[in-house]
Amino acid sequence: MNDRRFPWLMLVPRHPGLLEWHHLPRQQRHQLLDEVSVLSEALEDVTAPDKINVGALGNLVPQLHIHVIARTRQDPCWPGPVWGNGAPELFADDEQPDWLPALLEALPVNFLDRTNDNE
Amino acid sequence: MNDRRFPWLMLVPRHPGLLEWHHLPRQQRHQLLDEVSVLSEALEDVTAPDKINVGALGNLVPQLHIHVIARTRQDPCWPGPVWGNGAPELFADDEQPDWLPALLEALPVNFLDRTNDNE
């Protein structure tokens, strides 16, 4: 997510019109959780947060999407949720998060390719 | 949850000291999602919400717990999250949620017994 305040990832299963996690067939529900878990673990290893927040809300954008966010006691929304809580701080156009290279390095080999193949 | 504003359930895996969903072994991670899914589906059937919100936050209480909440466009926090958003409206001491009997009826046979056996 384009918000410097937190290391914040989002997963969007490529099922147009899908609204709820539990609407997926069981195996795909589990696969999505496995992918959330891989990203949670990588974020935890790389950013050493106080807590990982996982959320499937979708009140504003109903298409199913899962937030995975690394939270710290020093972040500007702690201990509240990040959603609807203050204004995002955008990255510059040519800027990438300082934690991103290490996160990509921490992912299993071909993780992004594999998830992209699982349409 | 003791808050009349929303049909709001919480799942607490009985693993003392467990902090994160992805810290569970894979099979138990999946089991927890299956239980979230059963409750999401039952809440959806019984309360006809506009959206189910699923969240594992734990910034205030770090022990792993999963929120499953039925949201409607008419609820007092829509479209924001429920956490840290306004004051809870408590049930009376002898009151139960009007949706609870139908929810219990909608659960698979022995669902609560089974989940209680899975310590």
- The model's pTM is 0.95
Q: What angle do CA B104, B1, B48 make, to 5 degrees?
A: 55
Whether A11 contacts chain B with CB within 8 A: no
Q: Which of chain B's residues have a Cβ under 8 Å away from the Cβ of A26?
A: 34, 37
Whether A53 contacts chain B with CB within 8 A: yes
Q: Do B57 and A60 touch (CB under 8 A)?
A: no
* pLDDT tens digits along A29-87: 999 999 999 999 999 999 999 999 999 999 999 999 999 999 999 999 999 999 999 99
Min Cα–Cα distance to chain B from A94, Å: 31
A56, A58, A71 member nearest B59 (Cβ): A71
Rounded CA gap, A111 and A114, in Å? 5
Please list, residue by residue across B3-24, b when 16 or more beta carbons sit within 10 angstroms of its beta carbon and e when fewer do: bebbbbbebebeeeebbbbbbb
The token pair at A111 is 């993780």
* pLDDT tens digits along B47-79: 999 999 999 999 999 999 999 999 999 999 999
The token pair at A118 is 């699982």
* pLDDT tens digits along B10-53: 999 999 999 999 999 999 999 999 999 999 999 999 999 999 99
Query: Count of A–B CB contacts within 8 Å?
Result: 110
Q: Does the interface ipTM go beyond 0.90? A: yes
pLDDT at position A115: 67
Alpha helices (H) in chain A, listed in sequence order: 26-47, 100-106, 111-117
Q: Do A54 and B56 touch (CB under 8 A)?
A: yes
Peptide bond into A108 cis (omega under 30): no
Q: Do A51 and B60 touch (CB under 8 A)?
A: no
Q: Which of chain A's residues have a Cβ under 8 Å away from the Cβ of B84?
A: 79-81, 85
Pairing relation of β-strands B8-11 and B66-71? antiparallel
B54, B59, B79 member nearest A21 (Cβ): B54
The token pair at B41 is 């589906």
* pLDDT of A116 above 70: no
Which residues does residue A66 pair with via DSSP β-bridges, in sequence order? Answer: A11
